[in-house]
A and B are shown apart, each in its own frame.
Chain A
Amino acid sequence: MADEDDNGFGEWGGYFEAKKSKLEEQFAAASDPFRKSNLFQGISIFVNGLTNPSANELKQIMMVHGGIYHHYERPHTKFIIASNLPDVKVRNMNTSKIISAQYIVDCLENKRVLDYKPYLLYTNQKTTQPRLHFGKGKNTSRTNESMAVPKSETAAEPPLVEPVEADLSNILNNLQQVVATSPKNETAAKAAVEVSVISNNSARTAVDPAFLSEFYKNSRLHHIATLGAGFKQYVCELRQANGGKPFPKRDELRSVLSCDQVMNMSAASVLYIMHIDMDCFFVSVGLRSHPEWRGLPIAVTHSKGGNAATDVPVHPQADRQAELKLFAERFEHQLHDNIRADKVRSGFDKKMSLSEIASCSYEARAKGIRNGMFVGQALKLCPELKTIPYDFEGYKEVAFALYDTVAQYTLNIEAVSCDEMFVDLTDLVEDLQVDVMSFVAHLREEVRNKTGCPCSAGVGTNKLLARMATKRAKPDGQYLLGPGTDVLGYMAPTALETLPGVGSSLRHKLEQAGLRNCADVQRTSLQTLESVVGKKLALTLYENCRGIDTRPLVYEQKRKTVSAEVNYGIRFTNNSECETFLRQLSAEVTTRLTDIKRKAKSIGLKVMVRAAEAPIEASKFMGHGVCDTINKSFILAHATDDVNVITSHVLRLMKESGLPPHELRGIGIHLSKLSEATEVKKDNVLLQMFEKMSEKRKGEPTVEVHEEPEPTVFKEKENDLEFKKPQDLPSVWDTVGWKNSANKSLDKSPVNVSDRLGNTTIDMEVFAQLPEYIRREVLENMDEHLIARSSGHSDRTRKNPIGGRRSSMPCPPSSLPRMENNCSTFPVPKDADGPLELLRAVKPTTAALMLNGLQNHLLGSNYKSMLADWVSNEQYPNPTDILMINSKLSELAQSKQMGRIYDIMKHLCRLIKKKRDNVCEWHMAYKVIEESVQHQLMAIESYMLKLPDTISCVICHKM
């Protein structure tokens, strides 16, 4: 510092600072005369290393177009232009501003400042990480690489680097899609032209239409899960195809093993369950093509391993430390899963790869590497660890070979996963009269010969013991936990977590109670256990720890759920992207559903949302980070496999969740309550009945208005309403009248009902068993469906005021004069005669009835006349009608139509006061209605309604 002060440049911050500033000034002064445009106004560049166009050319461009060229990198330098930087340099720099020289060229060409993101030279994605390639097959990708050769920016590089570079710019484009808030940017397309044809639409996020298929092609969980499910199906198919035929292989075996006939018959009654499991399935399959690596520590993972895995560039927005803390906390406190918490703690270090190890060889396990560990952490433990990629085709091949081999001898197989199954050998051993273990040895040998992979098998008297025996047998061995062995002693040291159904949280609970292994539980009484984990679980635990397992083998397993879930690469920017993706996912899940020929009744949507405290970008590239999971589901009325139905429900569920699309990190659709597609539901008679009725309805022609003598009368209504022709009206009255009588007195006039029902498809027995309200619904529906069908049975003499609220004007034509006489508020004009005038009064609600049979008519504008009819026509109120009013009012209350309730109550009160002032029954009716309404409102709004009027009758007040 002292030197610099001495040299007199102190006030400029030292010599070099002064020099840099001076150079800048010189540059500005020199460029002034040449300036043609201000294209690069405010943009400063620093060229590092060899570029194309060269540093000099770039300098000139900047001069001419108003930019600034820095001779030295300065803190305010906006971009560093480079074509290739050595690792050391990159490490010391913020990679977010290193771009390729092509950017300047393209800006110039387009005459505007483009988005620089597609030109970023280094992003947080490792070039060695396997990529999802969208929209291109193998062939196109090859052409891309060859197309990239004439690319200018890598001209200085040896051609070897080409594919990497091509990939890199691919990544850049992808990353741009992720990072940029405005993903649709032409710049991406522009850059892509130079590099590869597809890279402009090769988004890695779920926004891309091809995302889903590409995702499922690479998702290991998906492959493993579908393989497992597939084998359950496969066993089913094999069993159905076999149909009790003998197994020819058994005879073959009999001759081979005949010498071993040392079985005693007494043991024949003993169950022999074999659990067979491939040893490090993924690894051993992978090693088939690399036998030279046998004996080395091997891991199967997406990551390429080596240096790459310990030095992954980190996304600028990702905050590993924060995420680590969150993950660890969640695992510990919510799941009590210390293992996972530790894994996150030790694996989230700096720049280590977050790829998980799917499977590792026994040599690797000896070094402390475990399945599910992060590759970065594993490499720390064992630097010489060899990683191999997934080989899904190989897994399939080997798994089929395994299943086929076992199926030659018996079909009593319970598939667990692609490399693991339970086999009931009891019948086989009895048939062959061989020692069970010699058969197992033979089988294992055969599997090894066919697949080239080792497997282990355990035999026990139940599933649990078989599995326990396999643990002892591994690797590449077999073990018998026969009837004679000390099961208790064998189970004693077993950790509780290895038992089926014991997960991390249950283990935590048991640990709190001081129970760590089976021996601890064996010493505990059932009662104590019950107090810790509950009755059902306690019994299972109690038995399992003693080697007792009552679960039978399930040979023909039916799928209970079908689902599709993606929680990688979900980065939406708007709702429409999200919707498109949901549509695709719905289609995917529906395909899976139809593939297994089932229909689903329950649709569930699982959404992972970025936890509020989690960083925006997850540490794992495009991973989901720390999330909150939200589940929503909907039960359908009928099981369906219609993609449209499923899609619409999924979209609705998503909409209801109201989650912002950019916070979504994972989406899954789960279909459950599956039923056979062909299965006819026998238990749901009611449903069938309604279905039949709606079929009928379709067959019925709708009656149009156009034959109307005076169409203008009807035109006042909404245009699309349909009306009955006047000549059809009598039948309307018929049904209404009939319905009313049926409603009121089902037992009093059963003839009515059965007469009517005789014409329909309704089963009387079923009908009689229905609850009251459903009976009413059925009858109402029938009115709609059968309205054109006149039964000839009429009840014209019957007064039916409350039916009037359904079809507004209750009275049949014959009773019209009487009505006019005694009803002063009746809305029909006094000069009215003939059905047409009547129709005018009927019109609004009839129309509404036809539109929607269940619409609340108290909402209509003519509720006053309805109420007036009711009060004036009935000497005494009918209880059914009161109930109807009540239910309609409660509907209003539910929909918070307080104003309307107020009006109705007020009007009703006045009507009763005016017309039925001396009929206490009416007063009581009003009181009942009022009380029920107030009660309803109290429940909904927690307030009573302030009603302006009350009926104060001295007589009934006393009652």
Chain B
Amino acid sequence: MQSEYADDIHLEALEVILNHILYVRGIYPAQIFKKRRIYNTPIFVSIYPPLNTYLAGVLRSARELLCRRELKCFEILLYHSENTPIESYMLQIEQLEPEAARQPAQDPHLIEYEQHLRAALYKLSERLKPLPRLPGNCQFKVHLHTTQTAFVEFSHEAQYQEFPWLQAETPQQMEARSGTVSLLPLVAVDNVGLKMQARIFG
């Protein structure tokens, strides 16, 4: 698998999971999601243009960082008021260089990959179910964890200027403020190089 293809495939996984979480956690009304079949699984995907534009912008930036191997973690933050996050979903991306190089031989049609992601999505739904319902009027935002150099370089790229990123406060600062945080392990797809955990605040 060429690395650019691999990045696109990973990006697709990110997109699916992002949409899925937004739907499952009820950030947006269910009406704006449409059922689609992805990875041979029904997934609810947003059809709401403003949201889609935003997601596209996020993913475009994520892709750039992914290609540069600078994306450490893709974090989806659900919050009610700006500084008090309720849940945060951290998708840790591990670059599996040797594995990725090995993949075409082992999994030429990405069937394994699809199965793993499918299993992961079901597990995600199952594990999210026991969580308490979110209060109404919740919002979400995305944090991309990267290095400072990558961030500086990135913000100077002309083609990403119209979708600017701001530096968020570090997780340590966030933790210091929020009281109890507990960890919900969600997905660990080893051969995809994806590990997802949710931090439940409060």
Contact = CB atoms under 8 A, between A and B. Distances in A.
Interface of A: 897-899, 901-902, 937, 941, 943-946, 948-949
B103 interface: no
Nearest to A902: B185
B32 interface: no
B200 interface: yes
A897 B180 CA distance: 22
Nearest to B181: A943
B95 interface: no
Interface residues of B, number: 17
A937 B199 CA distance: 13
Contacts of B131: 946
Interface in B178-200: 180-188, 197-200
B49 interface: no
A945 B182 contact: yes
Contacts of A897: 188
Nearest to A897: B188
In this complex, the member of B180, B182, B183 whose beta carbon has the largest number of chain A beta carbons within 10 angstroms is B183
Interface in B145-202: 180-188, 197-200
B185 A944 contact: no
Contacts of B183: 898, 937, 941, 943-946
A943 B185 contact: no
Contacts of A901: 185
Contacts of B102: none
A948 B180 contact: no
A951 to B, nearest CB: 15
Nearest to B200: A946
Given A944-B182, A945-B182, A902 B188 contact: no
Nearest to B123: A899
Nearest to B175: A942
Contacts of A898: 183, 185, 188, 197
A830 B97 CA distance: 48
A899 B188 contact: yes
B141 interface: no
Contacts of A944: 180-183
A946 B184 contact: yes
B127 interface: yes
Interface in B104-135: 123, 127, 130-131
Nearest to A934: B182
B185 A945 contact: yes
- What 7 pairs between A and B have smallest CB-CB spacing? A898-B185, A943-B183, A948-B130, A946-B184, A946-B182, A944-B182, A899-B185
A913 to B, nearest CB: 14
B134 to A, nearest CB: 15
In this complex, the member of A898, A943, A946 whose beta carbon has the largest number of chain B beta carbons within 10 angstroms is A946
Contacts of B199: 943
Contacts of A899: 123, 185-188
B11 to A, nearest CB: 23
A903 to B, nearest CB: 9
Contacts of A945: 182-185
Contacts of A949: 130
Given A899-B123, A946-B184, 7 more contacts: A897-B188, A902-B184, A937-B183, A941-B183, A943-B182, A943-B199, A944-B181
A946 B128 CA distance: 11
Nearest to B186: A899
Contacts of B184: 902, 945-946
Nearest to A947: B182
Contacts of A943: 181-183, 199
Contacts of B185: 898-899, 901-902, 945
A904 to B, nearest CB: 11
Contacts of B200: 946
B198 to A, nearest CB: 8
29 contacts: A898-B188, A898-B197, A899-B123, A899-B186, A899-B187, A901-B185, A902-B127, A902-B185, A937-B183, A941-B183, A943-B181, A943-B182, A943-B183, A943-B199, A944-B180, A944-B182, A945-B182, A945-B183, A945-B184, A945-B185, A946-B131, A946-B182, A946-B183, A946-B184, A946-B198, A946-B200, A948-B127, A948-B130, A949-B130
Contacts of B181: 943-944
Contacts of B127: 902, 948
Contacts of A946: 131, 182-184, 198, 200
A609 B186 CA distance: 42
Contacts of B180: 944
Contacts of A941: 183
A937 B197 CA distance: 13
A901 B184 CA distance: 11
A27 B39 CA distance: 68
A902 B126 CA distance: 12
B192 to A, nearest CB: 14
B193 to A, nearest CB: 14
A626 B185 CA distance: 47
Contacts of B187: 899
Contacts of B130: 948-949
Contacts of B197: 898
A937 B181 CA distance: 12
Nearest to A945: B183
A949 B127 CA distance: 12
Contacts of A937: 183
A23 B185 CA distance: 78
Nearest to A899: B185
In this complex, the member of B123, B180, B184, B199 whose beta carbon has the largest number of chain A beta carbons within 10 angstroms is B184
A286 B183 CA distance: 75
A809 B131 CA distance: 35
Contacts of A902: 127, 184-185
Nearest to B199: A943
B190 to A, nearest CB: 11
A941 B184 CA distance: 12
B180 to A, nearest CB: 7
A897 B185 CA distance: 9
Interface string B38-68: 0000000000000000000000000000000
Contacts of B123: 899
B102 to A, nearest CB: 18
Contacts of B182: 943-946
A898 B185 CA distance: 6
A184 B131 CA distance: 62
A508 B181 CA distance: 51
In this complex, the member of A897, A899, A941, A945 whose beta carbon has the largest number of chain B beta carbons within 10 angstroms is A899
Nearest to B126: A948
A949 B130 CA distance: 9
A941 to B, nearest CB: 6
A945 B183 CA distance: 4
A865 B131 CA distance: 27
B202 to A, nearest CB: 11
B26 to A, nearest CB: 18
Nearest to B185: A898
A373 B76 CA distance: 63
Nearest to A948: B130
In this complex, the member of A941, A943, A944, A949 whose beta carbon has the largest number of chain B beta carbons within 10 angstroms is A943
A943 B180 CA distance: 8
Contacts of B186: 899
B165 to A, nearest CB: 26
Nearest to A901: B185
A427 to B, nearest CB: 68
Nearest to B196: A899
A937 B127 CA distance: 19
A879 to B, nearest CB: 28
Nearest to A943: B183
A451 to B, nearest CB: 61
A901 B198 CA distance: 15
A937 B184 CA distance: 12
A935 to B, nearest CB: 13
A949 B129 CA distance: 12
